Amino acid sequence: MKGDARGGAILVVDDDRALAAVLKEFLEGDGYCVRMAFSAAEALSIQETDRHISLALVDLIMPITDGLTLSDELRRRDADLHVVIMTGYGTIETAVEAIKRGAEDFLTKPFDYQVVRKKVARLMEVTELRERVAQLESNLERHDCFENIVSVAPGMQKVLERARLAAQTDATVLIVGETGTGKELLGRAIHAASPRARMAFVPVNCGALPRELVESELFGFRKGAFTGAYTDAPGLFAAASGGTIFLDELGEMPKEVQVKLLRVLQERELRPVGSSKAVAIDVRVISATNRPLQELRSSLLREDLYYRVATVVLQIPPLRARPEDILLLAQHLAARLARRYGREITLAQSALELLLGYSFPGNVRELQNLLESAVAVSADDPQVVTDRDLRPLLSAGGGAAPRTGGACSMEQMERLTIEQALRVSEGNRTKAASLLGISRDTLYRKLRQYRAE
């Protein structure tokens, strides 16, 4: 079936199972994806779990809940849903009333299938056009999704390029990196650059969940499933329906829960604690770990689960391995702090040299906290942060950072950083200056200085 190519799925709601089956077969013959429901309750359940329903064909006369009431509720839950009422000749007046209440059209029984084909095609075409417009708007919004990740280091640029490509797919992604390297920031950027950007991004720290509650927190539970379960709870996967769930520190997940997560990834459905019924889900999974990849594969995760979550593996290099970014981030964070505190804040050369020689065991997060600590205890305006301000704040465990490619002076490192920023911004000097956290005039001055050397 070509449901995705025809603008979403169609929901047929009729308590006459034989008629619903015939209509389903006819529409599937035209290439649509069709779901059937034989009651209002079943229709609402399908709508809740299937985010791709764009048209509902609803029988007017049904037991318990009539078609008008159901149509009102379907549209209340999804204002963009097209609803067509199906009715016999004797109740056309009621069908007209349904249109006044928001239904798009009505079909009379017995069906003229050519009429059915034309009306369905018209409404599905409207849906398809609406989705194209939304996609174009989303593309414009996603254009700068990765610009919050400030980096010019070649190794990090390769990671970002792979992340941009992965964002356009629905593949599971595993982000590997030390604490403080920005794994969640990268996960958010992937989500924001994906077709799921308008839906929820739900971050979950697997290591922070109590072991006995992991399953119920992730997959939800039914009333009475355990002591204290006084009502149904949907769980975090349900909260991310249509969007992305970010499973941080995946290696901390208990093995017994890993089995259930594997089933969710394989079958695209989950079973809440205390329920005998599986629920279909539509969620993208992005995972992260600060453990070495080999340790994750060999001892922390089930092998079959590893291959499910690691369709795309992105390894973020630590900050000490990309000295260009130390300079860049330090200047960028200083400029951000200046805006926040409303005063001029700059970094002295002695401070930059100290930062370049430090190994940053806490990575970008440590650099951010380091600079904020130095700024927060001063009221100087302008403030020039020096090595004397920073040295007492350095971690005892963060010795000298290993240098690659031989010794490099502060001036040489600054020049390399500016050159890399220009490459990343494809020669756009305004964008490069913004990336570097300096004014365009300062960038032009430094470029003139380099040409004169």
CATH (residue range 320-452): 1.10.8.60
pLDDT score recorded for residue 328: 86
Question: Domain 145-317 classified CATH 3.20.20.100?
Answer: no
pLDDT score recorded for residue 295: 93
> What pTM, to 2 d.p., does this model score?
0.64
Domains of the chain: which residue ranges? 4-139, 145-317, 320-452
CA count, 13 A, side-chain hemisphere, 159: 27
Cα 69 to the center of its chain, rounded Å: 35
* Count of Cβ atoms closer than 10 Å to residue 345 Cβ: 23
User: Do 4-139 and 145-317 agree at the fold level?
Assistant: yes
Beta strands in 233-377 (DSSP E): 244-248, 269-270, 279-280, 284-289, 312-315, 345-347
pLDDT score recorded for residue 140: 45
Task: Please tell me the class of the 4-139 domain.
Answer: alpha beta
Judge whether 35 and 53 are in contact, CB under 8 Å. yes
pLDDT score recorded for residue 55: 92
One digit per residue, pLDDT tens: the chain, 453 residues?
333 444 578 999 999 999 999 999 999 998 888 999 999 999 999 988 887 899 999 998 888 888 888 988 998 888 888 999 888 765 667 767 777 777 888 888 888 999 999 999 888 888 777 776 555 555 444 445 787 788 888 899 999 999 999 999 999 999 999 999 999 999 999 999 999 998 999 999 998 888 878 888 898 887 877 777 667 777 899 899 899 999 999 999 998 899 989 999 999 988 888 887 888 889 999 999 999 999 999 899 999 999 999 999 999 999 999 988 998 899 889 988 999 999 999 999 899 889 988 999 999 999 999 999 999 988 898 899 999 999 999 876 666 554 444 445 667 667 777 877 787 777 788 877 777 767 777 777 777 776 655
In angstroms, the CA 257 to CA 301 distance is 11
Judge whether 7 and 124 are in contact, CB under 8 Å. yes
Enclosing H/E stretch for 153: none
